[in-house]
């Protein structure tokens, strides 16, 4: 999945978010294209195609929304959960450019569904929770919305409209070949009158500036998003080249960031009583801990 000959030097291709702002329209956005990092995350489990597709979209959304965080030590968690669906848990998080994700599902029920099942077919309802853990203030903010719409992207749009009260457009695209997956996304938001950080009284979906920007952003095609020969800067230029000013800034390089270590799990297990830890130990005297994200089992001497 080489792009050395495709993307001009100094421009952004795989596994990096590009941030942009349109000052004259009070708009900001993010665009990302995942390649090798996505392959690494997906390779941790032998997921069926429909689940790989779902997790690929979730990781794109996590990268887009997570890159809105200003403090690199802050964390974003995206979680979709259902009590009755084929998929009962999907969780992804982002911190300082590190991505990880995991899906728990019922293989037998999934096998009864054809092709790429709809969001409702996979979850049967449920909810989407988006959580911001802010390092600078040690505060946690969480918004929860019904898991509705045709895709996770639509559910995330609903989150921004209902919980953040920020007009938001999100587009995602996924392309497969025999060995690799490419997933990409675009997020554009309207911060009317530069009101970032201030209370928003209502969602101005009919604001003329937002109508203009969302119309341009909505014209993006799926094949453009996943075209590895098209840099993210070129993509932003295609959409907004008629604007007076568009400022772009590459974000951090993205990586698979599972944070599982023996030391981490030893710290977690230390919170349990000695009696509880004794019950957890196997015949060798260690406690096996399975990391769902990277599919590794750690033998912890706790």
Structural domains in the chain? 16-256 (3.55.30.10), 262-300 (no CATH)
Element (H, E) at 51: helix 49-66
pLDDT band (50, 70, 90) for residue 48: very high
Which one, of 99, 89, 103, 91, lies nearest residue 50 by Cα? Answer: 103
Q: How many CA atoms lie within 13 A of 298 on its CB side?
A: 18
pLDDT of 70-105, one tens digit each? 888 899 999 999 998 999 999 999 999 999 999 999
Using DSSP's 3-state secondary structure scheme, residue 181 falls into strand
Q: What pLDDT is recorded for position 198?
A: 44
The pTM for the full model equals 0.86
Query: What's the distance, Cα to Cα, between the start and end of the chain in Å?
Result: 42
The tokens for 102 are 């995991």
How far apart CA 40 and CA 180 sit, in angstroms, is 10
């Amino acid at each position: 999945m080489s792009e050395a000959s495709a993307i001009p030097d100094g421009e952004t291709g795989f596994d990096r978010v590009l941030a942009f702002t349109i000052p004259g329209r009070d708009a900001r956005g993010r665009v990302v294209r995942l390649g090798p990092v996505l392959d690494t995350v997906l390779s941790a489990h032998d997921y069926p195609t429909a689940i790989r597709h779902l997790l690929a979209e979730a990781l794109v959304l996590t990268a887009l929304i997570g890159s809105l965080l200003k403090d690199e030590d802050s964390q974003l968690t995206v979680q979709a959960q259902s009590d009755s669906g084929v998929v009962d848990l999907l969780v992804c998080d982002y911190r300082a450019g590190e991505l990880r994700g995991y899906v728990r599902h019922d293989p037998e029920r999934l096998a009864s569904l054809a092709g790429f099942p709809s969001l409702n077919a996979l979850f049967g309802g449920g909810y989407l929770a988006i959580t911001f853990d802010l390092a600078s203030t040690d505060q946690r903010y969480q918004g929860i919305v019904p898991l509705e719409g045709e895709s996770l992207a639509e559910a995330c749009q609903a989150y921004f409209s209902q919980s953040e009260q920020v007009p938001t457009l999100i587009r995602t695209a996924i392309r497969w070949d025999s060995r690799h997956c490419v997933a990409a996304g675009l997020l554009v938001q309207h911060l009317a009158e530069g009101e970032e950080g201030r209370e928003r009284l209502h969602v101005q979906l009919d604001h003329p500036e937002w109508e203009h920007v969302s119309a341009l952003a909505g014209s993006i095609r799926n094949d453009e998003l996943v075209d590895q020969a098209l840099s993210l800067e070129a993509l932003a230029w295609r959409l907004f080249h008629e604007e007076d000013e568009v400022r772009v800034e590459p974000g951090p390089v993205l990586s698979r960031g599972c944070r599982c270590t023996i030391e981490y799990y030893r710290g977690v297990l230390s919170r349990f009583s000695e009696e509880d830890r004794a019950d957890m130990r196997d015949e060798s005297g260690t406690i096996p801990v399975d990391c769902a994200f990277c599919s590794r089992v750690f033998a912890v001497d706790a």
